[in-house]
Chains A and B, each alone.
Chain A
């Protein structure tokens, strides 16, 4: 009845992908290692020294390169593995993920990208904290960032565990633990080496692995020649009606709710926004979003084709895809690798496809953990708990966060509540409910104030937690399971309106309403905050190293403020940023 029930109609989720050939394979194992080492060494070659560089790569990256970085950031196990899985298992409903995860970039482009670049802060907590002039708001945003990292990473851990079975053999639990350990090791190394500049290369490697798999399967099996992204259409009628028939595994409302949630989630995800700080101007922010969407579309137009090929191969070689003894959720989540294996491609080649999936999962998890550790060390610990924290203490808190998060993610991933794509979608729900309304209202309505933001974010968190407790936790907590009974949700009607996977459709408008109403009921924000917002919308160019705050504070008099683009001010602003 709800989203969780779609992929795996039979709970608990079957954890071994039976059809996958699980044994240790030397060449693929070397490939996984080589990919990760390559990411690291490129990161080392282009390493950065000061912190400003680490965060935003010196704000000097151009359109195409930043577009690829957006693509690489985007390409986690959810895109690489999870999307094809959802399409194969849930048919037309799976397309809600394709649509939601790609078209959201347009909203980001027209409403947020350039304005965010002008605001010029590095992280979501920084934006929220500065825009609403509140350490509490900053802490809530930081907490949300950590929660998003956690939920997102559970999906990645499941993905790497499942694909790890193909590469290293062994059972699911061992693989999750081993690969999460590798992730934390990778994180330690990449943190030391400063791996920001290698995103473009990472994108190229991952997309090549994915497309090579698709083309090879399509070509060897006679499905396609030059354009599998279109050619799979001709085989759709042989796949069983479940593959294309609309609204069989998810209602119209659930489809819309899912797509909407993923769209607003895209606009609220902290690690997506940080990519706009790396560009030289707001114009580059716009064009690199266009390029980013192009690079994302390359994968997203290919995933349904891969799913179609995989589904057909599964039906021919393994058995029924749909129905009681059909493809399991675990098999679905590795369909990309499974398709390559069932097409009898050489082991090293299947290994390449698998290695791409694992590398995508590890790199994404590393990025999420870095964001979470900075949120914990900088935004929560230093800003609220201990304002006098030394560099050493901050580092300790940051590292402790990573270790703790790694442990919790590993534990949760041992018994994951849903498919890779669904798990990641929970994180999007959260981002869309809590952060997106703050970004949007914060940038587009200058009278949004601190009280409004606090009320709105609390409402968003509440809606999300309720949806998760209602629908996802019953699988873990016996008391809740009893309360939930047959339907799987404690309050079925709440799950219908606020499905965990698409809670933002009904929830985000509520958060908007609360934020606006409370902002109206309380005092308007101060003139300095308003000027900050206005600066984000002014068409006047800004210096490369400037943030809106620099312009507004430097410009005590109107003249200077208007001349914000002039060189003197720009240089001063740049220095301020580095100190702060």
Chain B
């Protein structure tokens, strides 16, 4: 985690952090189709892109099976008919991978906007120590 932080602080993103300091988020409208702050625009871009991927992973296999049942059931992967493998393993596994990617991307967004949720936040020392350990585990 610290690596990514330094990395993004080095380049132009650092300016975004300064710009963000002026935004009062309590005065900015919340509407999923009309992001009103740069942070929300960046965040929603990630959200919608990942959502589209998710829709393909989850509903793609069953739809493909409905459209081309012959191909989907005849092709086999590791013994599985293709439609079965993509649905039983591909969809849950795909959603898990996408979740991981999203959580990482969201962390990067936090770095870009200079947001810190506890790793070295101005919280009390004991509060800061525990999340640091836990987050480190996740990133590996």
Contacts and interface: CB of A to CB of B under 8 A. Distances in A.
A342 interface: no
A252 B66 contact: yes
Give the size category of A's interface with B: 35 or more
Contact of B96 (A293, A447, A539): A293
A283 B26 contact: no
Contact of B78 (A114, A230, A567): A230
A499 B136 CA distance: 46
Interface string B62-100: 110110010011000111110111011101111110111
Give the size category of B's interface with A: 35 or more
B116 interface: yes
Given A229-B89, A284-B131, A535-B26, 18 more contacts: A63-B134, A98-B91, A98-B92, A105-B95, A233-B77, A235-B79, A244-B84, A246-B66, A281-B117, A289-B99, A291-B138, A297-B96, A304-B88, A446-B30, A537-B40, A539-B110, A541-B118, A562-B26
B107 interface: yes
Given A256-B59, A297-B93, A444-B30, A535 B79 contact: no
Contacts of B91: 98-99, 102-103
Interface string A74-106: 000000000000000000100110110011011
Contacts of B95: 102-103, 105-106, 293
Contact of A255 (B24, B62, B78): B62
A280 B84 contact: no
Contacts of B130: 62, 280
12 contacts: A63-B135, A103-B95, A233-B78, A234-B79, A259-B58, A280-B131, A293-B96, A444-B32, A530-B29, A535-B25, A541-B117, A544-B123
Contacts of A62: 130-131, 134
Interface of A is mostly: helix
Nearest to A96: B62
Contacts of A281: 117-118, 131
Contacts of B85: 233
B134 to A, nearest CB: 4
Interface of A: 62-64, 92, 95-96, 98-99, 102-103, 105-107, 109-111, 114, 229-230, 233-237, 244-247, 252, 255-256, 259, 263, 280-284, 286-287, 289-291, 293-294, 297, 300-301, 304, 443-447, 530-531, 533-541, 543-544, 552, 555, 558, 561-562, 565-567
**Looking at B31, B57, B84, which has the most chain A CB atoms within 10 Å of its CB?**
B84
B51 A110 contact: yes
Interface of B: 20, 24-32, 39-40, 43, 47, 50-51, 54, 57-59, 62-63, 65-66, 69, 72-73, 77-81, 83-85, 87-89, 91-96, 98-100, 102-103, 106-107, 109-110, 113, 115-118, 121-124, 127, 130-131, 134-135, 137-138
Given A106-B95, A280-B131, A287 B103 contact: yes
A244 B81 contact: yes
